[in-house]
Structure 1
Amino acid sequence: VLQPKDASVSGCLSVQLSGARRLHKRDFCYLPSVCGNCKALFIRFFYNASSQRCEEFIYGGCGGNRNNFETKRECFQACSHAGNQPHRQGPPRAVGPLLPPGRLAPARHGCPGSAPPRWCYLLAQPSHGPCRGHFYRYAYNPATGTCRVFLYGGCRGNANNFETLKECQRACQRGERRALGWTGLDWSPPNTTVLPGIR
């Protein structure tokens, strides 16, 4: 767990729930992720009732709510009852806010074929985000049809953010090169360091 001395989590959602003590035993599974009042960078998991999945978020170290688990497994064990459907894998998980609804809703999520799913071309340039962590992540570049490593700060950012090279390649890289809105074959997004030799 990364805890830089001067870590700052700006833009964190601070939620005060009046009457939180009156929640039923497992109603905490429906609470939003809350980074808390402190400024550490702990990777935690929360149950997202909308997607019916346990998802990663950055926890500051104090405050927050009970929808906060150290492992994905703990989250699923505590909250899998919350969804009416069984837990499903779905498309590769992207971290951070997604593009507007409809832009990431192709008819062929992860379907086999020679071209990447349409949504891979709609991904924005990767964003470091406002936090000061240093996590190596991978982003898809539709201009080159490849996945490249970049430094992610640990919070927010955007959907063009994959934990592993394999996850990025599985989601987007199928050998076809097309650029929608990106210019040039080499890119270095603002506030993002691209490390070319690391894979």
Structure 2
Amino acid sequence: THHWRWAKPLNVCHYFAYIIRCNTCISVFGPHSTARVSDPCKFPISIGRHCYNDTRFVTRHKVFGYNYMTHRCERFTYLGCGGYKNRFSTAAECWQKCAGASGSKCVLKSVKRRFGGFSKYYYNMTSDTCESSRYWTNRVNGKNRFSTLADCERSCKANHTHIRDDV
């Protein structure tokens, strides 16, 4: 079993303090108190485990999970069985379901333009790519705009760093 702690102010489980079983986070408010998390975005990202009938270990899927600590959707390889519900087929599904209120520039709409004096980048959540566009202003604050391709990819195209889990 994993050890997680229920963080009441954030309404999420944090690694290292209590137990999660069957997609339920057990609270540490008291000996008989429990709190159930139903929002998949508040569960940790879990790669799951290999399925018992998959003796050749071929059942793997590239999926996305929401990291509530970094406020980003992150790519990871799901092993096929178990894990938590924080798993989405596409980056767009993850960003739309989990990151709408995160304040991330990655969820903001952007329009590709061919004309303008400044070349910038924006995140296209449908294709999970950072694309170039031209703008008449050099501003990037408050918009799905990044000065460099590296800035865009660092902010919006994260890969999940796996911490061992037994789910």
TM-score by length of 1: 0.34
TM-score by length of 2: 0.39
More strand by share: 2
